[in-house]
Amino acid sequence: MGNRANGEEGFALVVVLAFLMLFAVFLTPFATSARLQVLISGNQFQTLRLGSAANALNDFLNWQINSDVRWREAAERGDLDKVGCTVGSLDLSVTIIPHATLINLNTAEAPLLESGLQRLGINRESALKLVSEVLEFRTPRGYDGVGDGISSGLKRAPFEDISEMHDFSLLRAIPIWSLAKVFSAWSGQSLLSVEDHAKGSSRHFTIASWLFEKGNVGSDAAVYAVGGATATKSRLATISQDMGSEDGRTEMDCNELLGPKGVQVLAEIAG
């Protein structure tokens, strides 16, 4: 009888162990999914945190342009194009583009528009077609085009934002950020001539920042107007898509790039 009881107990133990193993197999995907969800949520939080910090940093850089003549001169010269530094665990990249170096979508003549489009890698035939569409799009009268290649149709008014370039079917494959490094909807060059390259002061700047920390990245880019009493609140438009990241940056000392206050803020973000 004892052997029989022991055998039954052993069988019951095997059944329980088998059940527990099956239960574990059943639960494993859910546990893995839960851990993955926690990781994703954590990464999303870090991306949001770094993106908000990049937004605040760009407002600070705009303040620098308006308050420090030497800093603005450096931005005008292009000395702050693709620069970066590191504070603790935080890696920063900055690009500041003076709009005096860009092509004005609303006033540029056809040859200059064509030149800019070809710089983006568009072949001459497509560039000429796009130039015609841009002129039709921005001009109240004088053109009889129908805007077949424009998703929103002919606006017959000036460009208000660089994102409107994605209304053109031939430009949708080009990231907004790439377009924003060649064209401006606010100011810039109008003539394809030697004289036009003797550029004056920019009335607008595009400021972009990327913050990298432990595999996470947050970014922000916006167009700012400079000068005037409301200079520190002059964010005109945000470039919120297709930011990617900038390669081949020039390393700088963070104190030189941001000043002590900016470095202190970054150090607090890095924790």
What does the pLDDT read at residue 36? 45
- pLDDT of 194: 44
pLDDT of 49 reads 87
pLDDT in the model for residue 48: 87
Average confidence (pLDDT) per 10 residues, the chain, 271 residues: 53 56 54 52 80 89 90 93 90 94 94 96 96 89 63 80 93 93 93 60 93 90 79 78 72 90 79 63
**In the prediction, which pLDDT does 45 show?**
82
Task: Return the C-alpha torsion angle 28, 30, 31, 36, nearest 10.
Answer: 120
Q: What is the pTM of this model?
A: 0.79
Are the C-beta atoms of 265 and 60 separated by less than 8 Å? yes
pLDDT at 102: 95
